[in-house]
Chain A
Amino acid sequence: MASCREDEEGLRMIESRDVVIIGGGPAGLAAAVELDKRGIHDVVLLEREHELGGILRQCIHDGFGLSRFGESLSGPEYAQRFIDEVRERGIEYHTDSTVTSLSPERIVKVVTPSGLYIYKAKAVILAMGCKERSRGSVMIPGERPAGVFTAGTAQAYMNIYNRMPGRSVIILGSGDIGLIMARRLTLEGCSVKAVFEIQDHPNGLDRNISQCLDDYGIPLYLRHTVTDIHGRERLEGVTVSEVDGNMVPIPGTEEYHPCDTLILSVGLRPENDLIKDAGIEIDEKTSGAAVDENLMTSVPGIFSSGNVLHVHDLVDFVSLESERLAAGVASFIGGGLAHDRTLQVIAGNGVAHVVPQHLCSSSAFSLSFRVRSLSSDSVVRVRQGDRVIVEKRHRRLNPAEMVNVDIAAGSIGKEGNVEVEVV
C-alpha cells in the first residue's frame, strides 16, 4: 500500500494512505474506529503525546459516557474503550508523532522519534482538540511569580504527575475544568477560597456548579475578576475587583485575597495553527474551520470534528460528531460527496456561533450551536428565508450548553441561506 518516491525536498519517503487522522484524543479515536467499521482500513492515526487518549487521560472524574455507553465512566476509562477497539482492529497509529505541516494537497509532515515522515492522503481528519486560554490571553497585569496555572495544567500535575499545585487556591473563571479542579483540590486537602467569574453567568455546566462548588461550600462570585497579582518568587495573593456591565473593573471595589495558587479556567479555543497554515477557511466565531454538513472544510478532502472544530461540553458528543464525520469521509473516498458550498448557515439573533457554516446538499444533518445569553422559555428557530424548518421551545437556554438540532433530509431548499435564531 505504501508507495515510495522522492519528495521535492530531497530523499524522503512519501507514504500514501487513504486517511490520515491528526490527533489521538476522543475525536480521532472515534473517527478511526468508525472508518474501520465502514471498510476503510488504509488509515494512520498520529498522536503527539506518548499515549493515546488526549485530554481524557487527565480527566479522572466520572460523568463521561452517559449518552454513549449508558454508564458514568471516568475520562481514562472512556478513552480506553476506544483505544482497545483501535488496537483490536489493528488500526495503525503512532504516538510521540507531531504533525508539523499540512498542505491543501493533503500532504502531512510528521516528526517522530524515528525521523520525519511524509504522508499523502486521500482524506485528512483534523482532530487536534483545543487549548486553554492563558494569563497572556486574558491580560492580567502584575508580577509573574510561580503559582499561576491554567486549570488543565493543574489537572495534569495532580492526575498524571502526582504533584500538588499549591495549598491555598483562588480560581479565576468558571469553566468546567476549573470547577472540577475546585472539587479535586478540596478533596486532596487544599483550601479553595473562591471562584471569580467576570461574566454575569457561570461558564460551566449547572451540575458542576452544584456538585463541585455548592457541595463543598466554595463560593462563586459573578461579575468579578483578578486585577493584580502579588508575590515575587511564589504567589502571595491577588487583588479582585468587581466589574461593570462592560466587564470593566470598578475603581474602589478592589479586595486583596491571600493565596499561593491562582488557577485560570477562562475558556478553551480550538488548536487551529495547522489549519491556518493549510489555508483552510476559519470561522472567527468558533475559531475552528468552517465546515459543511459532512464536516468537510473549505479544502476538499480535509475534514474536522471535536474540539478543534468547536469546543464541546461533553465528550459523548465529540464521539458522535466524529462518527458522523467518518461517514462523510468514507463517501468522499468512495467518490460520492459533493463539495459545492451553495448555502450558508448563519448565526442569527441570540446565537453565538453555529456548525456547520455551509451546506452542499439537502441530506440530513445535525446543527450545533451556542446561545449568547441565558434565557428561559424561548424558542429556537431554524429557517430558510421565511420558511420555518424547525422550531422548538426550550425551558432554558444556557451559553454553557451546546444545543443540537437534527435537520431531516430534504428539508432545506436549493435557494436561500439558513438562519438559526432565538426568539
Chain B
Amino acid sequence: MRKCFTCVICPNGCRLEVEADGGTISVTGNLCPRGVEYANEEITDPKRTIASSVLVDGGVMEIASVRLDKAVSKSLIFPIMDVIKALHVAAPVHIGDVIIHDILSSGADLIATRNVEARQ
C-alpha cells in the first residue's frame, strides 16, 4: 500500500510518501526523523490535538480557551468535544490549569490557554 500525506508535526509540512507492506513501512520526503514517527502513527492510529473554549462562571470573560496537551486518537475528537461543550468552570482560570485530567482516558489533559480573572 502506498500513501501520501502531509506531516503536520511542524510548519515545514513535509510531503511524506509512505510505502506500507505488512509490518514494515518505509518513508520518504521527511526532513527529520519525527516524520517517520508521524507516518507510523498515521498508518496505525492517527492522532490529533484540538482546541476549543469552555464556559467560565463569574469571570471577566464568558469563555476561556482550552486545548489538549497531547494528541489523541482521531476517533476520540468528537466525544471529547461533547465533554468540552458541557463544561463550566469557575473563575479565575489561568494558563496551564488542568481542567480535566486524562480526559476520556485518552492520556491527554485538557488545559486552559487563557487567563480569565474573577469579576470584581
Contacts and interface: CB of A to CB of B under 8 A. Distances in A.
Nearest to B80: A187
Interface in A145-175: 158-162
30 contacts: A60-B51, A60-B53, A60-B65, A60-B67, A60-B113, A61-B51, A62-B49, A62-B67, A63-B11, A66-B10, A67-B11, A74-B65, A74-B113, A77-B113, A77-B114, A80-B115, A158-B53, A160-B61, A184-B52, A187-B77, A187-B78, A188-B52, A188-B85, A206-B6, A206-B13, A206-B15, A207-B11, A215-B48, A313-B11, A401-B13
A162 B51 contact: no
B11 A66 contact: yes
Contacts of B63: 159-160, 162
Given A62-B49, A314-B11, A162 B62 contact: yes
A210 B49 contact: no
Nearest to A398: B13
User: What's the interface size class on B, roughly?
Assistant: 20 to 34
Interface of A: 60-63, 66-67, 72-74, 76-77, 80, 158-162, 184, 187-188, 205-207, 209-211, 215, 313-314, 396, 401
Interface string B37-55: 0000000000011111101
Contacts of A73: 113
Nearest to A210: B6
Closest 5 CB pairs between A and B? A60-B65, A206-B13, A74-B113, A210-B6, A207-B13
Contacts of B5: 210
How would you classify the secondary structure of chain A's contact residues: helix, strand, loop or mixed? mixed
Interface of B: 5-8, 10-11, 13, 15, 48-53, 55, 61-63, 65, 67, 74, 77-78, 81, 85, 95, 113-115
Contacts of A188: 52, 81, 85
Among B5, B7, B49, B65, find the residue whose CB has the most chain A CB atoms closer than 10 A: B65
A206 B95 CA distance: 29
Given A76-B65, A188-B52, 13 more contacts: A60-B114, A72-B49, A73-B113, A74-B51, A77-B113, A77-B114, A80-B95, A160-B61, A188-B85, A210-B5, A210-B6, A210-B8, A215-B74
Nearest to B65: A60
Contacts of A396: 15
